[in-house]
Amino acid sequence: MAFDAHKIREDFPILSYRAEGGPLVYFDNAASAQKPAAVIDCEADFYRSKYSNIHRSAHELSRKATVAFEAARKTVGEFFGAPEGYSTVFTRGSTESLNIVAFCYGGKFLKAGDEIILSQMEHHANIVPWQEVARRTGAAIRVADILPDGSLDMDSLRSLVSARTKIISICHASNVLGTVNDIAEISKIARSSGALFNVDCAQSAPHCLDDLRAADCDFISVSAHKCFGPGGVGALIGRTGILNSMDIWMGGGDMIESVSWGGTTYRTAPEKFEAGTPNIAGAAAFARALEYLKSLDLEGAKLHEAALLKRLSEGIGQIRGLRILGVAERKTPIVSFACEGVHPNDISTMLDASGIAVRSGHHCAEPLMDRLGVKGSCRASLAFYNTIEEVDFFIEKLKKAIHFLRF
C-alpha cells in the first residue's frame, strides 16, 4: 500500500492547528519536527506513572525510572546503528554533543601544528566550539569548499588532509543546502590519514540512517527534537575507548566513581559525560519517537519525501527571481532560496499570513551565507507528514508574495 501522508497526519495533533492565516502548513521541520501523540503521551505518562530521579535511590519509582532511562539508551544506540564498542551518551542535543567532542577531545589532545577540518556548509554548532578549541590549543582550522551545486568538494577536502589532520568534523546533511554528504567516503579519507571522524547528524538523523551503517565514524551527534522527539535531549554516540580517554565535560553527581578531598575518580562513558540529573522523561520520549519511526513504512516515507522535494524544487525553480541554494543530487527535503532585493524575513512574514511556517535568516550558518554571497535565505523544510497539496498551496502563495515584494 502506498505511503499515506494524510493518514500519518492523524498521529500528529498539532497538524490540525489552525494558524491565524489559515490551516497550518508546517514547513519548518529542519528547525524542529512536530511530535506524534505517542511521544507526547509517553512523556506525560512517564511523569504520571514512573517519574523519579535515576541511578540514586533504592525505592521502586527510582528503579522504574532507571530501567526506562537505560532502555531508552539502548533503543537510541540501536536505532542509530551503534556497533559493539560504542557508547550512547545522553546530552541536551546535537549542540552539546558537538561541544563535548570539541572541548573534551580537542581541548585535551590538540596542540599547535595540528589541524581540524570542517566544511563550508557547517552549522555554527560545528564551527564555534572548534574555533574556541583552536584558540586555546593553537591548532588550526581548515575548511573544505563546496561546489556550485552545493555538494561538498571532495577534491578540496582531500587536498586539505595531511599528517597534521587530527579530526575531520563534518555534517552528514546541511541544514541550508540539504546536501547529504558521502560520509562513508569521508570516513575512508579520515582513516587514511589517521584522523578521527566526527559527524554532525542533526539534520540527517531522521532521513538517512543507512549511511551511518556504511560509514566508519568515531562520533555522531543527534537531537531528539529533529527526530519527532522532545526538546532538550539528544545523544552523542562515540567509540567507548576514545570517550574514556577524553576530558570530562561537567563535574557533578552520577559521573564520579569516588570523591574525596584528595581527588576524584570518574566513571567510564557514557556516565562520565552525564553529570547531574538528566532529562529522564525526555530520554524515554526520545526512544518512543524512534520506536514510532520504526513502526512506519520508512521506505515509503522516503519516497514520499522525495516526491515532495521534487515538486517543491520544481515549483520554486519556476518562480522568476528566486535562486535555489543547493541542488546537489542527494538532498534531505529542504529547499532554501534567496531573492535579490527582497529580505527573506519579508517573504516568510507574507507566507505566515497564509498559515505557512518557514524559516528565514542565516540558519546558524553565516560562513555558508558568506560563501554563497547572500545575507540570508528562506528555507522550506519538509517531513513525511507534509502533502503534495501543501506544497502546491505553498508555491501559489510564494508566487504571490514574490510578485508583491518585487514589483
Asked if 120 is part of the footprint of ligand PLP (rule: CB under 6 A), the reply reads no
Of 114 and 200, nearer to ligand PLP (C-beta) is 200
CB of 94 to ligand PLP, least distance (A): 4
CB of 186 to ligand PLP, least distance (A): 15
Binding residue for ligand PLP, selected from 66, 87, 88, 94, defined by CB under 6 A: 94
Give, as ranges, the residues between 21 and 60 that touch ligand PLP (CB under 6 A).
none
The C-alpha cell at 97 is 554533543
Binding residue for ligand PLP, selected from 146, 202, 212, 312, defined by CB under 6 A: 202
Stretch that binds ligand PLP, among 88-96, 264-272, 322-330, 339-347 (CB under 6 A): 88-96
Q: Which of 104, 171, 227, 364 is catalytic?
A: 364
Asked if 242 is part of the footprint of ligand PLP (rule: CB under 6 A), the reply reads no
Binding residue for ligand PLP, selected from 25, 54, 125, 383, defined by CB under 6 A: 125
Of 141 and 303, nearer to ligand PLP (C-beta) is 141
Asked if 181 is part of the footprint of ligand PLP (rule: CB under 6 A), the reply reads no
Preceding omega of 23 cis (within 30 degrees of 0): no
CB of 285 to ligand PLP, least distance (A): 15
Q: How far apart are CA 248 and CA 232, in angstroms?
A: 20
CA distances from 132 to 139, 143, 222, 309, 354 (A): 10, 15, 21, 37, 42
CA distances from 136 to 99, 117, 129, 140 (A): 14, 17, 11, 11
CB of 146 to ligand PLP, least distance (A): 14
Three-state secondary structure call for residue 133: helix
Of 3 and 80, nearer to ligand PLP (C-beta) is 80
Of 121 and 280, nearer to ligand PLP (C-beta) is 121
> Is 89 within 8 Å of 274 (Cβ atoms)?
yes
The C-alpha cell at 245 is 580517554
CB of 21 to ligand PLP, least distance (A): 25
Asked if 377 is part of the footprint of ligand PLP (rule: CB under 6 A), the reply reads no
CB of 388 to ligand PLP, least distance (A): 25
Torsion angles phi and psi, residue 335, rounded to 5: -130, 115
Q: Mark whether 364 is an active-site residue.
A: yes
Stretch that binds ligand PLP, among 44-52, 120-128, 159-167, 380-388 (CB under 6 A): 120-128
Asked if 118 is part of the footprint of ligand PLP (rule: CB under 6 A), the reply reads no
What one-character-per-residue DSSP string does 137-187 give?
H--EEEEE-B-TTS-B-HHHHHHH-STTEEEEEEESB-TTT-BBP-HHHHH
Q: Max CA-CA distance within the chain?
A: 73
Of 204 and 387, nearer to ligand PLP (C-beta) is 204
Three-state secondary structure call for residue 393: helix
Binding residue for ligand PLP, selected from 9, 50, 123, 207, defined by CB under 6 A: 123
Q: How far apart are CA 10 and CA 351, in angstroms?
A: 24
Binding residue for ligand PLP, selected from 203, 313, 381, 387, defined by CB under 6 A: 203
Question: If you ran DSSP here, which 8-state letter would residue 225 be given?
Answer: G
Binding residue for ligand PLP, selected from 200, 211, 305, 390, defined by CB under 6 A: 200
Of 239 and 359, nearer to ligand PLP (C-beta) is 359
Binding residue for ligand PLP, selected from 160, 170, 171, 335, defined by CB under 6 A: 171
The dihedral built from the CA positions of residue 295, 297, 298 and 302, taken in this order, carries a sign that is: negative
Interface size with ligand PLP, residues (CB under 6 A): 13
Q: Residue 398, Cα to own-chain centre: how many angstroms? A: 27
Rg (CA), the chain: 22
> Is 157 within 8 Å of 188 (Cβ atoms)?
no
Q: Residue 169, Cα to own-chain centre: how many angstroms? A: 14
Residues making contact with ligand PLP (CB under 6 A) = 93-95, 123, 125-126, 171, 175, 200, 202-203, 223, 225
Active site residues: 364
